[in-house]
Amino acid sequence: MPNDPLSATFAALADPTRRAILARLSKGETSVTELAQPFDMSLPAVTKHLKVLERAGLITRSREAQWRPCRLAPEPLKGANDWLEDYREFWEASLDRLEDYLADVQGQKRPARARKVPTPKKQERGAPP
C-alpha cells in the first residue's frame, strides 16, 4: 500500500470493481450487502475492496447507524484531478496533432498509416508544446 496520499488514491482507482463501487456510491450511501449485490463476489472480497477505498479516504463508513452505510468521500479525487490537469495541454496538443495529421492525409490522399500516431514536427521535438 503506497504511503503518499496521491499514490494511495491512484492505487485505489486502479481496479474496475472499486471504480464501480464509487460509481454506485455517487448515487447515494448504501450498505455493504447492497454494494456487493451487482458483483459476482463474496462479501469478504467486497469488504477487502472497501478497505482499500477507506484507507485511501475515498469512502467513509458511518458509525452512527447499525448497518454502517458507506458514503463517497470525493476529496481525494480532487487531488488526482489537480495532478492530471498539469498534463492537459499535452493530451490536447496530441489530439490536435492527430487531427492535423488526419486532415493532411485526407487532403493529400496519402495512404493512411493505420494505428500509427504521427511523429511531432521537428521543431517540437525535445520540447513538446
Binding site for a copy of itself (CB under 8 A): 2, 4, 6-8, 10-11, 13-16, 19, 22-23, 26-29, 60, 71-75, 77-78, 80-81, 83-88, 90-91, 94-95, 117, 125-128
Helices (H), 14-87: 16-25, 32-36, 43-55, 75-85
Please tell me the distance from the alpha carbon of residue 40 to that of residue 128, in angstroms, as a whole number. 45
Tell me how far, at minimum, the Cβ of 109 lies from a copy of itself, in Å.
25
| Closer of 28 and 107 to a copy of itself (Cβ) | 28
Q: Is 95 exposed, middle or buried (0-12, 13-18, 19+ CB in 10 A)?
A: exposed
Tell me how far, at minimum, the Cβ of 16 lies from a copy of itself, in Å.
6
| Closer of 8 and 46 to a copy of itself (Cβ) | 8
E strand spans, the chain: 59-61, 70-72
